């Protein structure tokens, strides 16, 4: 406190060249923070849930029955909506939105930069002097798209791109704007967003899964993929955030010594939620409910200041739109509470990273969750079919799943130090392992019954089992959790669409293959149920290597996985190569998800994104070091030199001080030498024209070579330099002060 009192009067005068005072000013602000009142509606949630949504229910209520029937059937069957119907929907949506005070509409889309984009148009038509919203405006818009990445698909002279209405995701009122979920495509029809391929993959998995379901039940007409994304995040005070240029620019701290108390106590997990954060959570949940986002659980995560929010699962496309929207809502509400939300995959070294666990399953239109074992024999063979086929798909295309979650930020979370390896394996629990082992061996062993869930398959070769839903493994990137799979490797800041596109496509493909193989067996005269069992047995054998029940974080697993020839690709540029193999490119093309050209363009965009991220971080590191860290260290060193000389003059031993001076010199030297070399390297690398090669060079010759060496010295200096002089808000302040 004393220090702040001394510095305060000089703050304004000196803080533009003395970062240290920005740090103390931020801490002072933090000290003075008050809780911001939450405006909570008086009524219960069910009364206002979805009040800002114009979805299927609102359409049913406002459209003529015949028109509504058309819309509903188009949505269900992935069909086009005709112009007259679109006009009717637009008119109803406009009336609804304007009755709630809306003035504008926007096509809301998800470009490949990540996040969401929008361009607002007014309902008011000055020429006609009235508010208008035509079906054609609902269906298609032409945003000024030249600044969105296209991977070379749109040449600069032809910068046109279109957004087109996605009727499967409800419109919503955000602020005073009617927001319409849309896809984003180029003038020539290539997809330029994350939603379009996702919609295609969901259609592919619907078709393939329905075919397979019909082997069991002819009445099943559709299968929907469901997603419940658990979103982790960190919360820090806004003033402290603003005083860390690395958090502002790169979303993560590039420096910072671990606090004396980290997450080793594990006392934060399920602990009580701090007041200001609680207010923030309460308010963003209310906003989410108004928008029809079914957020449900909230709790602390493992690391200090880390939290999680989980919604109820929905259809993948809607769930992902909701996740994107929720992230936006969270950012806005946090501002109001003088907080900042960090979604970055690894904002703080040494602490738990941030993921977005994608809980996923397939559900039939008759309401059967295909990953839920039941007590009916027929349903259980159906369950085993989907269960085994999914494992087989992951085994076949693990490299693609890995690639689907590859980003510069996620590289800090997967395959790095103190992070799970980037090996794609499947955890299924001991009981399901036993079932598959028995099925594989043609054995007929009974596993003891309990009072949980039974699997009575009614086929000799398949044992009866109980499913213990508590069997959990938190180190697996892809885990079966009783009635769904959980793809945990997806990054906290990522859009789920890319991962979900890959997963649903590989499962669709495997289901198609399964269907063909079963039919071949039947043609050979095999009884249908046995034909299914035979193919499953083959799949179990072939995909065994991808199953792993042990500690996914251990070194033994890395060795074991190498023996099993499972991929362990540690960085994005190399992981992305999996998209470009003939196997993957053909897979996407075969299912109508992406043409080869679109696929290549996407990889190009993601490589460019990677390069930019590493470039930004390299610059942030360079700037912080040269403008803040080194000058601070030199100033402090000068003080020590004066002190050492003084001691010497008095004839007092100054060895300890001289030693510190030397240590500081050493670190300054390391930092300067490496930063200079890194700048030279960047100049060389920027001349590489091939994007993939440039990305690899940024990875190996910039990030891997320099980031940690520089950080190491900076973090050591943080411990040596007087706390009063240190310019950057420290980890302990970011993480423990509220």
- The SS3 assignment for 362 reads strand
Residues 6+ apart with CB under 8 A from 300: 268, 269, 270, 271, 273, 306, 307, 308
Q: Pick the piece of the chain touching ligand ADP (CB under 6 A) from 353-361, 530-538, 640-648, 697-705.
A: 353-361
With respect to ligand ADP, which residue has the nearer C-beta, 228 or 304? 228
How many other CB atoms are there within 10 angstroms of residue 443's CB atom? 13
For residue 224, the minimal CB distance to ligand ADP (Å) is 10
Packing angle of the helix pair 316-336, 496-523 (nearest 10 deg): 160
Q: Of the candidates 361, 493, 584, 599, which one interacts with ligand ADP according to CB under 6 A?
A: 361
For residue 284, the minimal CB distance to ligand ADP (Å) is 16
With respect to ligand ADP, which residue has the nearer C-beta, 389 or 599? 389
For residue 229, the minimal CB distance to ligand ADP (Å) is 7
Check binding of 299 to ligand ADP (CB under 6 A): no
Strands (E), 218-350: 223-237, 295-300, 306-311, 314-315, 339-342
Strands (E), 410-484: 426-427, 453-455, 465-467, 478-480
Q: Of the candidates 113, 483, 519, 660, which one interacts with ligand ADP according to CB under 6 A?
A: 483
What are residue 131's DSSP bridge partners?
Answer: 124
For residue 472, the minimal CB distance to ligand ADP (Å) is 8
Strands (E), 282-388: 295-300, 306-311, 314-315, 339-342, 356-364
Is 266 within 8 Å of 302 (Cβ atoms)? yes
Q: Pick the piece of the chain touching ligand ADP (CB under 6 A) from 39-47, 306-314, 385-393, 432-440.
A: 306-314
Which among 488, 485, 468 is positioned nearest to 393, based on CA atoms?
485
Residue nearest to ligand ADP (CB): 228
Containing 104, the helix (H) or strand (E) segment is strand 104-109
493-512 positions binding ligand ADP, by CB under 6 A: none
With respect to ligand ADP, which residue has the nearer C-beta, 223 or 227? 227
Is 478 within 8 Å of 422 (Cβ atoms)? no
47-86 positions binding ligand ADP, by CB under 6 A: none
Task: Name the percent of the chain in helix, strand, coil, to the closest 5.
Answer: 50, 15, 35
- Which residue matches tokens 């290597």? 545
Separation of alpha carbons 668 and 651, rounded Å: 29
**Contact mark string toward ligand ADP, 256..295, x via CB under 6 A:** ----------------------------------------
Separation of alpha carbons 277 and 285, rounded Å: 12
For residue 46, the minimal CB distance to ligand ADP (Å) is 18
For residue 488, the minimal CB distance to ligand ADP (Å) is 10
Check binding of 312 to ligand ADP (CB under 6 A): yes
Q: Pick the piece of the chain touching ligand ADP (CB under 6 A) from 305-313, 553-561, 635-643, 696-704.
A: 305-313
For residue 485, the minimal CB distance to ligand ADP (Å) is 8
With respect to ligand ADP, which residue has the nearer C-beta, 367 or 525? 367
For residue 225, the minimal CB distance to ligand ADP (Å) is 8
Region label for 177, one of left (φ > 0), alpha (ψ between -120 and 50) or beta (otherwise): beta
Check binding of 477 to ligand ADP (CB under 6 A): no
For residue 227, the minimal CB distance to ligand ADP (Å) is 6
With respect to ligand ADP, which residue has the nearer C-beta, 190 or 486? 486
- Which residue matches tokens 């690398």? 685
Question: Which value, to the nearest 10 degrees, does the dihedral of the CA atoms of residues 130, 135, 140, 141 take?
Answer: 0
Q: Of the candidates 91, 369, 519, 568, which one interacts with ligand ADP according to CB under 6 A?
A: 369
Q: Of the candidates 85, 352, 359, 510, which one interacts with ligand ADP according to CB under 6 A?
A: 359
Q: Pick the piece of the chain touching ligand ADP (CB under 6 A) from 240-248, 283-291, 355-363, 566-574.
A: 355-363
With respect to ligand ADP, which residue has the nearer C-beta, 143 or 294? 294
With respect to ligand ADP, which residue has the nearer C-beta, 318 or 714? 318
Check binding of 484 to ligand ADP (CB under 6 A): yes
Q: Pick the piece of the chain touching ligand ADP (CB under 6 A) from 134-142, 176-184, 308-316, 546-554.
A: 308-316
With respect to ligand ADP, which residue has the nearer C-beta, 24 or 313? 313
CA 427-430-435 angle, 5° bins: 100
With respect to ligand ADP, which residue has the nearer C-beta, 95 or 369? 369
Check binding of 471 to ligand ADP (CB under 6 A): no
Check binding of 360 to ligand ADP (CB under 6 A): yes
- The SS3 assignment for 667 reads helix
418-437 positions binding ligand ADP, by CB under 6 A: none
Q: Of the candidates 123, 280, 307, 313, which one interacts with ligand ADP according to CB under 6 A?
A: 313
Separation of alpha carbons 164 and 143, rounded Å: 11
With respect to ligand ADP, which residue has the nearer C-beta, 141 or 224? 224
Residues 6+ apart with CB under 8 A from 10: 21
Separation of alpha carbons 24 and 7, rounded Å: 8
Which among 333, 55, 56, 291 is positioned nearest to 174, based on CA atoms?
291
3-state SS track over 392-410: HHHHHHHHHHHHHCCCCCH
**How many residues make contact with ligand ADP (CB under 6 A)?**
16
190-249 positions binding ligand ADP, by CB under 6 A: 226-228, 230
Separation of alpha carbons 653 and 663, rounded Å: 18
For residue 367, the minimal CB distance to ligand ADP (Å) is 11
With respect to ligand ADP, which residue has the nearer C-beta, 315 or 549? 315
- The SS3 assignment for 9 reads helix
Check binding of 481 to ligand ADP (CB under 6 A): yes
Tokens linked to 307: 């939290």
Question: Where does this chain bind ligand ADP (CB under 6 A)?
Answer: 226-228, 230, 297, 310-313, 359-361, 369, 481, 483-484
């Amino acid at each position: 406190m004393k220090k702040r009192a001394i510095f305060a009067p000089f703050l304004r005068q000196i803080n533009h060249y003395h970062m240290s005072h920005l740090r103390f000013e931020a801490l002072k602000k933090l000290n003075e923070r008050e809780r911001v009142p939450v405006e909570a509606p008086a009524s219960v949630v069910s009364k206002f849930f979805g009040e800002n949504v114009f979805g299927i229910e609102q359409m049913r209520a406002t459209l003529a029955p015949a028109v509504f029937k058309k819309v509903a059937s188009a949505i269900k069957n992935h069909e086009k909506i005709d112009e007259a119907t679109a006009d009717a929907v637009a008119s109803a949506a406009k009336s609804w939105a304007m009755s709630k005070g809306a003035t504008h509409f926007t096509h809301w889309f998800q470009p490949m930069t990540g996040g969401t984009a929008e361009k607002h148009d007014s309902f008011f038509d000055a020429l006609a002097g009235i508010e208008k919203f035509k079906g054609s405006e609902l269906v298609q818009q032409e945003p000024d798209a030249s600044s969105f990445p296209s991977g070379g698909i749109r040449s600069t002279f032809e910068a046109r791109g279109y957004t087109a209405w996605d009727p499967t995701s409800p419109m919503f009122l955000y602020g005073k704007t009617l927001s319409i979920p849309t896809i984003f495509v180029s003038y020539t029809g290539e997809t330029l967003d994350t939603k379009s391929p996702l919609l295609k993959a969901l259609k592919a998995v619907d078709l393939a899964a329905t075919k397979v379901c019909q082997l069991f039940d002819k009445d099943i007409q559709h299968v929907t993929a469901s997603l419940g994304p658990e979103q982790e995040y960190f919360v820090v005070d806004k003033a402290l955030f603003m005083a860390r240029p690395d958090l502002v620019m790169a979303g993560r701290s590039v420096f910072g010594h671990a606090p004396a108390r980290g997450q080793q106590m594990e006392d934060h997990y399920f602990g009580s939620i701090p007041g200001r954060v609680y207010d923030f959570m309460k308010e963003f949940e209310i906003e989410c409910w108004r928008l029809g986002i079914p957020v449900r659980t909230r709790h602390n995560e493992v690391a200090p200041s880390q939290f999680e929010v989980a919604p109820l699962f929905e259809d993948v496309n809607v769930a992902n739109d909701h996740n994107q929207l929720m992230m936006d809502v969270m950012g806005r509400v946090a501002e109001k509470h003088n907080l900042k939300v960090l979604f970055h995959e690894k904002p703080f070294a040494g602490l738990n990273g941030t993921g977005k666990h994608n809980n996923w399953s397939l559900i039939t239109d008759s309401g059967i969750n295909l990953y839920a074992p039941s007590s009916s024999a027929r349903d259980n063979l159906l369950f085993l079919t989907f269960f085994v086929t999914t494992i087989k798909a992951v085994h076949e295309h693990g490299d693609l799943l890995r690639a689907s979650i590859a980003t510069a930020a996620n590289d800090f979370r997967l395959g790095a130090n103190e992070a799970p390896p980037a090996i794609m394996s499947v955890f299924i629990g001991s009981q399901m392992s036993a079932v598959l082992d028995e099925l594989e061996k043609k054995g007929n062993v009974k596993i003891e019954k309990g009072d949980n869930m039974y699997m009575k398959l009614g086929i000799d070769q398949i044992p009866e089992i109980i499913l213990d839903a508590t069997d959990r493994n938190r180190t697996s990137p892809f885990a079966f959790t009783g009635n769904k799979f959980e793809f945990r490797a997806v990054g906290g800041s990522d859009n789920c669409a890319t991962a979900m596109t890959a997963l649903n496509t590989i499962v669709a493909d495997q289901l198609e293959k399964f269907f063909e193989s079963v039919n071949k067996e039947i043609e050979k005269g095999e009884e249908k149920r046995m034909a299914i069992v035979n193919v499953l047995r083959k799949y179990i054998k072939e995909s065994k290597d991808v199953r792993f029940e042990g500690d996914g974080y251990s070194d033994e697993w890395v060795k074991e996985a190498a023996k099993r020839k499972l991929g362990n690709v540690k960085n994005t540029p190399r992981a992305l190569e999996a998209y470009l193999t003939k196997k993957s490119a053909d897979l996407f093309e075969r299912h109508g998800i992406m043409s080869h050209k679109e696929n290549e363009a996407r990889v190009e965009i993601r490589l460019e994104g990677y390069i930019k991220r590493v470039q930004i971080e390299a610059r942030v590191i360079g700037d912080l070091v040269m403008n803040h860290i080194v000058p601070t260290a030199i100033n402090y060193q000068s003080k020590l030199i004066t002190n050492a000389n003084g001691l010497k003059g008095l004839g007092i031993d100054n060895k300890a001080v001289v030693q510190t001076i030397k240590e500081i010199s050493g670190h300054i030297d390391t930092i300067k030498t490496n930063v200079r070399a890194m700048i030279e390297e960047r100049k060389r690398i920027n001349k590489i024209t091939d994007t993939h090669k440039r990305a690899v060079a940024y990875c190996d010759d910039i990030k891997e070579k320099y980031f940690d060496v520089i950080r190491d010295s900076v973090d050591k200096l943080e411990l040596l330099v007087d706390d009063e002089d240190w310019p950057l808000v420290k980890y302990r302040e970011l993480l423990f002060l509220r």
